A and B are shown apart, each in its own frame.
Chain A
Amino acid sequence: EPEVTQTPSHQVTQMGQEVILRCVPISNHLYFYWYRQILGQKVEFLVSFYNNEISEKSEIFDDQFSVERPDGSNFTLKIRSTKLEDSAMYFCASSGAENERTEAFFGQGTRLTVV
């Protein structure tokens, strides 16, 4: 069964450092997402990406965040200068192979710890 894969599974970084979280969505999907979850609680939308551009972003997704799909397969989330409150589980998701009615498939997540 196809799946979304994320690397690394766990990233520890110092405050102020840049991190890049990587994702390989399901190959024929058209819509891509980043979500985050703090301490097993609410799953918060960060950004959606379609047709090689951001289609929507939340207020959490400020200038410190950026996304990229550099080579048609990988989908990355960059945090330029991490803050302690960026510590969370970050999930990548993809959807929409045939149409927009499909469910989103989630990766296993990257646990980001900012110290």
Chain B
Amino acid sequence: AQSVAQPEDQVNVAEGNPLTVKCTYSVSGNPYLFWYVQYPNRGLQFLLKYITGDNLVKGSYGFEAEFNKSQTSFHLKKPSALVSDSALYFCAVRDSITSGTYKYIFGTGTRLKVLA
């Protein structure tokens, strides 16, 4: 069965500092991994994805994520945080189609607070 874990409920970082939001996953086949961001009273906005290829993927707004197969992790990173990055971040995983499932499973979310 697929699962995703986001171990931190909240991450605080000073503006201009690098940020990391952690995610680990479990799937039976090859994982498709995603990060979404949710601003207050808004929907889920796609940031980036890992399907195959380079372990470091780049996405919107200067975010990137590193896929680590041995550690089954897909941590979200940004070199220099902005106050406007403050939001709720969700990691999601989808198993490959050979598993017979199509659904995306979301982590519990990590609230990022960037302090001015």
A and B associate: yes
- Interface residues as binary, B43-70 with A (CB distance below 8 Å gives 1, 0 otherwise): 1111001010000000000000000000
Contact A103 B46 (CB under 8 A): yes
Contact A108 B43 (CB under 8 A): yes
Contact B32 A91 (CB under 8 A): no
Contact A106 B32 (CB under 8 A): no
Contacts of B44 in A (CB 8 A): 43, 91, 93, 106
Interface residues on B, range: 20 to 34
Q: List 17 A-B contacts (CB under 8 A).
A: A33-B104, A41-B109, A42-B106, A45-B106, A50-B102, A56-B101, A93-B44, A93-B104, A95-B104, A100-B96, A101-B51, A104-B34, A104-B46, A106-B36, A106-B45, A108-B42, A108-B43
User: Measured between C-beta atoms, what is the minimum distance from B18 to chain A in Å?
Assistant: 25
How many residues of A are counted as interface, with CB atoms below 8 angstroms from the partner's CB atoms? Answer: 26
Q: Does A2 contact B (CB under 8 A)?
A: no
CB within 8 Å for A43 and B106 given contacts A108-B43, A109-B43:
yes
CB within 8 Å for A45 and B103 given contacts A91-B43, A91-B44, A103-B46:
yes
Contact of A56 among B32, B51, B103 (CB under 8 A): B103
